[in-house]
Chain A
Amino acid sequence: MEANALHDLTAAYALDALDVDDAREYEAHLSHCDRCRDELASLSEAAGALAYATEAPMPPPELRARILQQARRERPNVVPLRPRWAVPVAAAAAVAACAAIALGIWAVSLSSKLDRRDAALAREQRVAAILAQPGSRTIHFARGTLVVGKAGDAALVVQHLERAPTGRTYEAWISAGGPPRRAGLFNGGQNSAVPLKGSVQSGASVLVTVEKAGGVDAPTQKPILSVQS
């Protein structure tokens, strides 16, 4: 089929209205036609909207159980994020993105980057960059994850922390025997990605206290969380 004729099949393909042979030919064409890929993405969204124009009765509850059961049976042999001391696989942006998502950051920025304040996004990207390093470690704790790069560069990801009250801030500390060192301020909220100042060597602890706005030189409160690297 001529290329032009193939372009014309985009709407029919989006509606799943091509005969099998045409569909196969169109898919082959798609792999090297940017124009069609863009057009298809946008027409598919319109086609997908048609799904919502129908009545939506509740499916039988057994269906959900059946799908999950079958999925478990087919579970591919991949390494999921282990609960503790998970070692991310080799450096790859995709892995970093995936891990970042698994940590609960990038959730919003994936679909609407514009909604995020640049500073927040930059922080998340720094965390992702640490995750992407070969040999970086992630240590999970109840409310989040500590990510430590090979050189000791580290970031804290904390979820569902109430926002710090007015006039107060959360302050992170790195403690390795001596007095805790200041490691960064953050406000809390649903997801906080906090790149830490200073390096976290193996065995060091990361603490978080609530302090007056602007931070203090030494912790004045009992830590609300503490995680050992």
Chain B
Amino acid sequence: MSEYRPMARTFAHLSDEAIVALVARSDEEALAELYDRFGRVAYGLALRVLRDDKLAEDAVQEGFLTAWRNADRFMPERAKASTWILTLVHRRAVDLVRREDRRRAEPLAEGVEPAPTASVEDDAWLRFERERVQAALRQLPDQQREALELAYYGGFSQSELAERLGQPVGTIKSRMFTGLARLRELLAEPGNGETAWKPTPSTT
């Protein structure tokens, strides 16, 4: 049997939830790992909401620092760690966009090329996820999709949406609920299943 040597600390075998549990113990390396797993998606989301590099960076930074301060409140039986961190960043982005009032809800211009340092697995997995969620969105009735997109990417509140679309708040509420519940079903369907393909965790 070969000689056993001490290994550099690796998080590859830990679940996202276990990483957050370590962040709750103020483990900086675990925070770095959390960022490496979700920083890119979080940044893409913040950029979509805010349309501005610097503001998007602020939202991501604030979101991750909120995670750092409050990781002990994370409850793995309530939420996936990915949902939790993305919610923190999204909430921050929405706060900023409402303050700056610079929101628009059209997709970003095409041609955003990932930097060459991105790993092939990351790229492949993100593309897979993007196509999966976009396909589910396309199956929603237009009005429901519009309500979800304007709310989530545009940062509009339900009362702002009601005004913008000339509809009662109750109608907007119900479009958001029906749309989100339907999206949940679509994403859970086999073929859209998230277990269909998973990246190999990097082991650096």
Interface extent on A, as a size class?
35 or more
A16-54 with Cβ < 8 A to chain B: 16-19, 22, 37, 41-54
Q: How far is the CB of A112 from chain B (nearest CB, A)?
A: 8
Q: Which of B77-98 contact A (CB under 8 A)?
A: 78-80, 82-83, 86-87, 90-91, 94
A residues less than 8 Å from B184 (CB atoms): 42-43, 45-46
The smallest C-beta distance from A78 to any residue of chain B, in angstroms, reads: 5
Q: Which residue of A14, A15, A81, A142 has the most chain B CB atoms within 10 A of its CB atom? A: A15
A37-B78, A46-B187, A68-B31 given as contacts; is B13 within 8 A of A54 (CB)? no
CB-based contact A57/B113 at 8 Å:
yes
Q: CB-CB contacts of B1-13 with A at 8 A, as 1s and 0s?
A: 1101111000001
Tell me whether chain B's interface is mostly helix, strand or loop, or mixed. Answer: helix
B180, A19: Cβ atoms closer than 8 Å:
no
Whether the Cβ atoms of B60 and A59 lie closer than 8 Å is yes
A: residues with CB less than 8 A from B are 8-12, 14-19, 22, 37, 41-61, 63-64, 66-68, 70-72, 74-76, 78, 80-81, 97-98, 101-102, 104, 106-108, 110-111, 142-143, 159-162, 190-191, 210, 224-225
Ordered by A's residue number, 17 sampled pairs between the chains whose C-beta atoms are within 8 Å are: A8-B174, A19-B158, A43-B181, A45-B80, A50-B133, A50-B137, A54-B108, A57-B44, A57-B115, A63-B43, A74-B65, A74-B68, A80-B25, A81-B25, A104-B14, A107-B15, A162-B1
